[in-house]
């Protein structure tokens, strides 16, 4: 995910930082910025829109206070591509498996 964020323009990075700060600080986050995927096992998306570009950071909740963001991509179609969802779901499984082993 860090590599993806480094590819953003300065303006896109500024917007991403703004949205992530909202997600971190607000008790109730507007769906415009943070939304649960329907039909997925506890998968959420941080939604970043700047100019004509849309970006999504996918992840999941680990307890009541922690959001683990594990995948990012530029959204180019109306519907989120299944392959992007599968990457986030696989990384979630790996995270939870590794957490359980420690």
pTM for this entry: 0.91
Q: What is the mean pLDDT of residues 39-64?
A: 93
Q: What is the mean pLDDT of residues 44-63?
A: 95
| Residue 62 burial class via C-beta count within 10 angstroms: exposed 0-12, middle 13-18, buried 19 and up | middle
Per-residue pLDDT tens for 21-43?
A: 999 999 999 999 999 988 787 89
Q: What is the mean pLDDT of residues 58-65?
A: 92
Question: Token match 């930082």: residue?
Answer: 17
Distance CA 18, CA 14 (A): 6
What's the CATH number where 88 sits? 3.30.2310
Domain count, the chain: 1
* Domain range enclosing 36: 2-101
Residue 1 pLDDT more than 80?
no
Q: Which two tokens stand for residue 3?
A: 């590599």
């Amino acid at each position: 995910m860090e590599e993806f964020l480094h590819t953003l323009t300065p303006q896109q990075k500024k917007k991403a930082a703004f949205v992530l700060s909202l997600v971190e600080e607000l008790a109730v986050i507007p769906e415009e910025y943070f939304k649960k995927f329907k039909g997925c096992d506890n998968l959420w998306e941080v939604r970043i829109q700047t100019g004509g570009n849309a970006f999504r950071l996918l992840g999941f909740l680990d307890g009541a206070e922690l959001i683990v963001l594990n995948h990012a991509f530029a959204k180019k179609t109306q519907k989120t591509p299944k392959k992007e969802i599968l990457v986030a779901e696989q990384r979630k499984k790996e995270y939870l498996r590794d957490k359980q082993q420690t």
